[in-house]
Amino acid sequence: MHIDPQFISLATRTCNSIYGDSYVSSIDIDILYGDELEKIGEAKVYEVRMDRIINEAVCSFFAVFDGHSSDLGNLYEELFEDDELIPALEDELMDYGNIVLIKSIILKPEYRGQGLGGILALAIAERFDDRDIVALKPWPMNSHDNPAGVWDLQQLTEAEQNTIAKKLRKSYRNAGFKPLFKGSSHLFLTHFRHPTATQLIGKRVSPFRQAKLQI
């Protein structure tokens, strides 16, 4: 089913602090469409409050990231060494704020495959401060990521996963997300120049409008 990204909106459903009562928030976001605000998908985001970790000086960065989940533990390994930002990343990430991980973005089956991942990721990132580092892993969700069976996720072969991952990576790169070093499993959006979600939508909508006018 074709979807016009101009009519997509986001709504925060829950925002719970789930580690240390203050350091990591788990945020559930509903993806809505049209005037009827039909729920067509959802996203899950982890926000690590680096300012609180530093100000309270009770826990190390490693303890917070690794103690929360393997998702944040893996992200820590790409950004820090002994709780210090990896030197090669300092110029790109100077004066950063908090760290946000977009854990998942999922749509109903009829809305998938339209290249909306980059727009949705960028719109989610814009809900946070400009100085925050926003990261995601361009990898498709599989059936084991959906234990309740809510979102009709199929068991993918390795070849199918790699094919979808390439498409996701391209969509996220077009939105301004990029690897910070060769071999990085995450893509990052930093406070340096990148398009806005509105600009990205404009690039998609304009050719469609022009085609209609030519009919």
Average pLDDT, the chain: 84
Measure Cα distances from 121 to 2, 89, 197, 207 in Å: 19, 22, 9, 22
**Residue 207 resides in a domain:** yes
**Residue 182 resides in a domain:** yes
Mean pLDDT of 192-211: 65
Summarised one tens digit per residue, pLDDT across range 66-120 is 999 999 999 999 999 999 999 989 888 888 899 999 999 998 888 888 889 999 9
Summarised one tens digit per residue, pLDDT across range 104-115 is 999 888 888 888
pLDDT of residue 205: 59
Which pTM was predicted? 0.86
pLDDT of residue 150: 55
Domain count along the chain: 1
- The domain of 146 spans 47-214
**Residue 19 resides in a domain:** no
**Residue 41 resides in a domain:** no
pLDDT of residue 91: 83
pLDDT of residue 145: 56
Three-state DSSP class for residue 89: helix
**Residue 145 resides in a domain:** yes
**Residue 8 resides in a domain:** no
Query: What is the distance between the alpha carbons of residues 120 and 126, in angstroms, rounded to a whole number?
Result: 10
**Residue 39 resides in a domain:** no
**Residue 197 resides in a domain:** yes
